[in-house]
Amino acid sequence: MKKGGTAERKPFRPFDLALAGRNGVKRFFHCFYKIEEEGWSMEKMKVEEKRGQKTKMNGALMLIEALKAENVEVIFGYPGGAVLPIYDKLYDSGIFHVLTRHEQGAIHAAEGYARISGKPGVVIATSGPGATNIVTGLTDAMMDSLPLIVFTGQVASNVIGSDAFQEADVVGITMPITKHSYQVRDVQELPKIIKEAFHIATTGRPGPVLIDIPKDMTTLEGEFDYEQDIHLPGYQPTTQPNHLQIRKLVEAVSQAKKPVILAGAGVLHANASQELQRYAEQQKIPVAHTLLGLGGFPADHPLFLGMAGMHGTYTANMALYECDLLINIGARFDDRVTGNLKCFAPKAVVAHIDIDPAEIGKNVPTKIPIVSDAKEALKELIHQEGKPGDTAAWLAQLEGWKREFPLGYKNDTHAVKPQKLIEIIYELTNGEAIVTTDVGQHQMWAAQYYKFNQPHRWVTSGGLGTMGFGLPAAIGAQLANRGATVVSIVGDGGFQMTLQELSVIQELNLPIKIVIVNNQALGMVRQWQELFYEKRYSHSLIPNQPDFVKLAEAYNIKAFRAKTEEEARTVLQQAFALKEPVLLDFHVAADENVYPMVAPGKGLHEMVGVKLCEESLQ
């Protein structure tokens, strides 16, 4: 030391590699390379250095910051004790939150948002009953492959397993109905868990991911690091098709005389509608849709056969029965599509394109399996420019079936026919509305008579068949596409399961048009009792209904009632002219059934009600 306490300055020494050690050398040359070779400025170096710095914050704020990093625009949720720290940070976060009136409404709204936007729906529910109220929605999303990120509150870590107030084993309950589930045990792991959750939910076959967060994990502090890369060795979805399998399919198509494509929701999830149309036109292959696949191929296209399955068109079902090559793209061969498996596509070579290898060969033996993203597989098939098969006679036969056995019904001037109601809605919306439904007869009529020519316009519960789905799903759909016309077609039974969400629609002034197909019954249950249980209508008729118009008015929502076709058209015109929510109560023919129909245990070629459709056109 010099006098006065000033440290003695040592002379400059060249960089000593030996003293710096391995990490120092790596840092030195890394920085030198970036500055000298890449032309990095000192400002850019400071940004790079800042990225490596970690900010300390509590778990609740970590969650909010992670959602911002994932560009989350809206959260659907319901607060409670275990998630109060999260809601406190949400208060001034700038993220839009929708307070639904029940947790089931929140998760169905998130499903509607995910289906229309293609982005993951985000849900927050508190511990115990809040978490158990979302079980139906999780199952629904799992079966229909919808990406959700669901945060559930949990009791504090030190009382887990003690039957504490509002404790439930949420991970144990939901493990079979989620794509993956976590329980946070270390606040430092929370950012990594959230980032992994978004990755898992949105890649491969989409699905719901649940994160269970004990309350203390939201108040403890840790270092927030959201820049880390995600690498999950046990989860590496195959997105590119195998070239040899593609060639096998190209060869099979060139030899086929009666090919058909069965297109499911996988086409929509992959945003592959344009590729599907190009491929079908290139190879002259007709297309049938599953219920969830509607909109993936234009309904007014000459190659479109309609929906296949239990209530599918005669042409679509007979095409699946008679075809010699069946190409499944993004569908899972569920029982409502196949009917009796012993009679399903008995003459066909089956090819199956699916991103989930577990679905291939699960229900139907598959000769040409192709594990791939639907869009990537279709792009490769188009690129191959394979020789089309000789399908002229097949296409002519299908056109004949379309003319001879179209969908139809006997019109009635005394009551509104539900099929006619759907046709009027289609006409007044120019086929461009987003349509959500509950489950039952009205769902099938909507699928049959609303012609979806564009993708991402159809929101319904397929695999689980959840009553009460349609109304809250419409909330999410409208928030996903603010400028769209959204029509929620519901039955009088299912509507009453989640009608409390009218409050949200009114509060946000969402211009959703709620169409109640009111037949004073659990319509599909009543139809099955009529056909298979000797008309013993055990608890399926609901003659004592509330006044739905007055109910809507109690929520300060405009409402109309119609009992004839003329009245129906008038009130629908009035409703669509209004830029606000409207409820419409249509008293339809109560004894109307959905046809065609494939009875349980029967093959697709054994439809009933086909003659009725034919006679209706005479």
Q: Which residues of 21-58 are buried (b: 16+ CB within 10 A; e: fewer)?
A: eeeeeeeeeeeeeeeeeeeeeeeeeeeeeeeeeeeebb
Backbone angles phi, psi at 350, to 5 degrees: -105, 125
Backbone angles phi, psi at 186, to 5 degrees: -140, 120
State how far the Cα of 465 lies from the Cα of 253, in Å rounded to an integer: 35
Q: Dmax of the chain from CA atoms?
A: 115
State how far the Cα of 527 lies from the Cα of 536, in Å rounded to an integer: 10
User: Tokens in use for 392?
Assistant: 């002229």
Q: What is the dihedral of CA 292, 293, 294, 295, to 10 degrees?
A: 130
Contact 552, 496 (CB under 8 A): no
Q: If we measure between CA atoms, which residue out of 385, 302, 290 comes closest to residue 330? A: 290
State how far the Cα of 180 lies from the Cα of 234, in Å rounded to an integer: 12
Contact 463, 334 (CB under 8 A): yes
Q: If we measure between CA atoms, which residue out of 594, 596, 591 comes closest to residue 414? A: 591
State how far the Cα of 386 lies from the Cα of 256, in Å rounded to an integer: 12
- Examine the residue annotation and report whether 89 is marked as an active-site residue of this protein: no
Q: If we measure between CA atoms, which residue out of 159, 151, 180 comes closest to residue 60? A: 151
- Examine the residue annotation and report whether 275 is marked as an active-site residue of this protein: no
State how far the Cα of 115 lies from the Cα of 167, in Å rounded to an integer: 31
- Given 34, 54, 73, 166, the catalytic residue: 166
- Given 57, 70, 76, 103, the catalytic residue: 103
State how far the Cα of 441 lies from the Cα of 447, in Å rounded to an integer: 10
State how far the Cα of 560 lies from the Cα of 582, in Å rounded to an integer: 8
Distance of CA 287 to the CA centre of its chain: 21
Contact 356, 290 (CB under 8 A): no
Strand ranges across the sheet with 582-587: 458-459, 434-437, 486-491, 513-518, 582-587, 558-562
- Output 243-247 pairs: Cβ under 8 A, ≥24 positions apart: 243/380, 245/368, 245/369, 245/370, 246/370, 246/377, 246/380, 246/381, 246/384, 247/384
- Given 217, 318, 467, 524, the catalytic residue: 524
In sequence order, what are the residues at sequence separation of 6 or more whose Cβ sits closer than 8 angstroms to the Cβ of residue 591? none
Contact 137, 131 (CB under 8 A): no
H/E stretch holding 202 reads helix 190-202
- Examine the residue annotation and report whether 103 is marked as an active-site residue of this protein: yes
- Examine the residue annotation and report whether 215 is marked as an active-site residue of this protein: yes
- Given 28, 32, 96, 165, the catalytic residue: 165
DSSP annotation of 166 reads T
- Given 215, 375, 420, 513, the catalytic residue: 215
Q: Residue 502: what residue type?
A: L
∠ CA 241-242-248, rounded to 5°:
110
- Examine the residue annotation and report whether 142 is marked as an active-site residue of this protein: no
H/E stretch holding 121 reads strand 121-125
Q: If we measure between CA atoms, which residue out of 228, 278, 539, 503 comes closest to residue 383? A: 278
List the catalytic residues: 103, 165-166, 215, 524
